[in-house]
Amino acid sequence: MRVKGCFIVDLLSVVGLIIDRYDTHHRGVIRKLHNHVCFVNSRAVMGEEGRAENTTLRSASVEDQWGRCEVPYPHLLGPWLEINSEAAESFVLSPSKAPGLCRGQRAMLSVIFRSALPKYGWLRLPAQTWVRTMSSSDGPASPFTTLAISRPAESVTHVQLHRPKKLNAMNKTFWREMVECFNEIAEDQDCRVVVVSGAGKIFTAGIDLMDMAGDMLQPEGDDTARISWNIKKLITKYQETFSVIEKCPKPVVVAVHGACIGGGVDLITACDIRLCTQDAWFQVKEVDIGLAADVGTLQRLPKVIGSRSLVNELALTARKMYADEAKSSGLVSRVFPDKEAMIAGALEMAGEIAARSPVAVQGTKLNLVYSRDHSVAEGLHYMATWNMSMLQTQDVMKSAQAVMEKKSPKETVFSKL
C-alpha cells in the first residue's frame, strides 16, 4: 500500500499499536501488534510499584525481547483509553483525521510514533511528511485550525493563537474553538496550568473584520424584536469565548508580544497572569469601529487596573498603551525584552504553578475570581465553605511535610485533579 505516494507500507505487519488502560494509576502498555517491533510495559519502566515519583520521567528506555525502545512520557500512557488496532491503523494513514480517537490520543500516538520511527523504521515516511502531517513545528496534533496546542512541559498546556498570516485575527472559527479548547482543558487532568500566546508578528489584531462582518451587520430576524433577540444571543455566545478562560479552574498565563488589539484585550483580561514584551502595545480599539466593547474589556479591565480614569481614557479614546505603562498600571505583572525570553519566563512560571498541589492552586484561582466579584464577607463565606472540604486533601499534609523538610514543591508528587 502506498502512503502519500512514497513508500510501501505493510499495514498488517508494521502498524498496529494498542494503548491499553492498564490500571487507574500511571501504568500503561504499548503493544505492537502482530509480533512486531516492540512491547513496552510501563510497569517495567516504572518498577513493580509504579510509584508516583517516577511520573516525572521524560522518557524511558525499555528493553524487551524485540529490542530497545525509547518511550516518551511513560506515565502519561496509563490514562489514555484503549485504542484498538483499527484506530491505530487509521491514525498511521491519516494522523490528523483518524476517526474514533480523541485529540489526546492522537497527540500521544504521534509522540510514540515519532519516537519509535527512527529506531525501527516502521513507516518509512519522509520526516518532512510526518512533521507536516502532525504539524509539530506549528504545534502538535490539534483538531483546531485557529489554535495550536502543545504540552511543552509536564502538566503545562500551551495554547497559541495561530493565524499568523492574518495576525491572529479572531474569525468565527476562533470564537468557537476557544470555547471547545478551554472546556477540554478544564477537564484535562494532565493539565494544571495554561500558557496562552500568539504565533507570528503580533499577539492579535482583534476581531476578524472580514469574517465577522456578516454576523454583526446582517443579523437574522423578521422584526426588531427578533433581530435584537438574535443579536443578544450572538453576543452572549461570543462573551463565552473569553469567559471560559476565567471559568477554567486551571490558572492561565498570557504572554503578549507586539500588538494586542480590541478582542485581544477582552481575552487577556480574562486571564490570571499577564506578561508582555517590551515592544507590546494594547488598544481598546472598539470605539474606533463604532462599538462599545462587549465581550469583557469594560467589565474586567476596571478590576485589573486600579485607575478607573485610565480605563475610561483607554476605552473612550482607543489610544495605544505601551508596555511600560501597562506594567506601571498593573495590566501586566512582568515585561520581558523579547518574545523568546517571555515564553521562557511564562513556561518557568507555569512550571512553578504546576508543581504545586492542584487542589490548592485551583482553589486559589476560583476563590480569587469569586472574591473579585463579591463583598469581602461573601468571599470569606465562600472560602470557608470551599475549604471545609478541600482542607481534607492529602495535599496539605504532603506539602507541609515538604516545607518542613525544606524540599522544593517540585519534589512532591500530587495526585491528579
Ligand X SMILES: CCC/C=C/C=C/C(=O)SCCNC(=O)CCNC(=O)[C@H](O)C(C)(C)COP(=O)(O)OP(=O)(O)OC[C@H]1O[C@@H](n2cnc3c(N)ncnc32)[C@H](O)[C@@H]1OP(=O)(O)O
Residues 6+ apart with CB under 8 A from 21: 28, 78, 79, 80, 81, 82
Closer Cβ to ligand X, 263 or 363, answer by number? 263
Q: Is 266 a catalytic residue?
A: yes
Q: Is 263 a catalytic residue?
A: yes
Q: Which residue out of 30, 83, 112, 207 is catalytically annotated?
A: 207
Q: Is 222 a catalytic residue?
A: no
Q: Which residue out of 16, 286, 305, 353 is catalytically annotated?
A: 286
Closer Cβ to ligand X, 140 or 296, answer by number? 296
Closer Cβ to ligand X, 144 or 174, answer by number? 174
Which residue minimizes CB distance to ligand X? 262
Query: Could you tell me if 263 and 295 are in contact, meaning their C-beta atoms sit under 8 angstroms apart?
Result: yes
CB of 284 to ligand X, least distance (A): 8
Closer Cβ to ligand X, 286 or 395, answer by number? 286
Question: Amino acid letter at 218?
Answer: Q
CB of 271 to ligand X, least distance (A): 16
Closer Cβ to ligand X, 36 or 166, answer by number? 166
Q: Which residue out of 198, 263, 296, 363 is catalytically annotated?
A: 263
Closer Cβ to ligand X, 163 or 250, answer by number? 163
Q: Which residue out of 266, 268, 305, 395 is catalytically annotated?
A: 266
Q: How many CB atoms lie within 10 A of CB 117?
A: 15
Question: Amino acid letter at 281?
Answer: W
**Binding residues vs ligand X (CB under 6 A):** 166-167, 169, 205-210, 212, 238, 259, 261-263, 285-286, 289, 294-295
Closer Cβ to ligand X, 326 or 354, answer by number? 326
| Residues 180, 313: Cα–Cα separation, whole Å | 34
Q: Is 207 a catalytic residue?
A: yes
Q: Is 154 a catalytic residue?
A: no
CB of 173 to ligand X, least distance (A): 13
CB of 245 to ligand X, least distance (A): 15
| Residues 399, 361: Cα–Cα separation, whole Å | 12
Task: Tell me which residues are annotated as active site.
Answer: 207, 263, 266, 286, 294
